[in-house]
Amino acid sequence: MAPTSTPQTPFGCVLTAMVTPFTVDGALDLDGAQRLAAHLVDAGNDGLIVNGTTGESPTTSDEEKTQLVRAVVEAVGDRAHVVAGVGTNDTRHSVELAHAAERAGAHGLLAVTPYYSKPPQEGLVQHFTAIADASELPVMLYDIPGRSGIPITTETMARLAEHPRIVANKDAKGDLGRASWAIATTGLAWYSGDDMLNLPLLSVGAVGFVSVVGHVVTPELRSMLQAHTSGDVAKATEVHQKLLPVFTGMFRTQGVITSKAALGFLGLPAGPLRLPLVGLSPEQAEQLRRDLKAGGVHV
């Protein structure tokens, strides 16, 4: 049974975009994934994204994706929303992944803008609609033009929001003005997809976070959210400022790389990366340790 959701927070409030643990020989580590998922939920996440970019979805097979969803749902599905990434730049493939995620027990779907192909906005409407039509699961859009090459415009968001199963957006556009208009006009539940902007996005109407730094600072993220929600803006700002070194350090290079390194520092399941991603150099690892310590993470 999935955790309770509301129209305002259909996937919970604090979600970590979870890495996919691998064994030392590069195979999928399902036991490690279950242990990591349990740790993250114990830390305060009420949702997890699996098979997203931070989960190295470009380099995991469809069968591995299904196995991962099933394992994480088994581990924490009664305590947290398990949202499966199904976005690709091939609509038919995304529809197949949506079907598979639903069969594996996912509670929702995350669909990123098709990347590299640069389809027109009408193509985005038809792409996301096909994914939403493919299952009975609620869908979170993922707007990240820096990686996909194109934005989802506010007008397109409004059209997509008319679909009964498209209920949320993960915002990594980095434009508070556009976010303000889209939140005001679409009715979509808004989630920050850019950790440095978590607090600013709350101030214009976001309901929560899909976080990378949640791997190491979930309690602090939840504290910031609760402070803001209760009207203690000064406390929320204090937490935000305390976390600035973590936000900076975790994105000095690619976030999957730093997340797996940070989890390794903490003795948590992560394992190696799959090419083309590579691990931190010794100098980069030491810098990450300094950044995390400066933000209050004991590594």
| Choice among 115, 116, 118, 142 that is catalytic | 142
Q: How many Cβ atoms sit within 10 Å of the Cβ of residue 6?
A: 9
* Marked catalytic residue, from 65, 118, 170, 191: 170
Rounded Cα distance between 134 and 152, Å, is: 21
Cβ atoms of 49 and 19 closer than 8 Å:
no
288-294 long-range contacts (CB < 8 A, ≥24 apart) are 288/249, 288/250, 288/252, 288/258, 288/261, 288/262, 289/265, 290/249, 291/245, 291/246, 291/248, 291/249, 291/250, 291/252, 292/216, 292/245, 292/246, 292/249, 292/262, 292/265, 294/245, 294/246, 294/249
What are the backbone angles phi and psi of residue 169, rounded to the nearest 5°? -140, 135
142 carries an active-site annotation: yes
Beta-carbon-side half-sphere exposure of residue 177 (alpha carbons within 13 Å): 0
Distance CA 110, CA 241 (A): 29
Token representation of residue 250: 């975790």
Annotated active-site residue 116? The verdict is: no
Q: Annotated active-site positions, please?
A: 142, 170
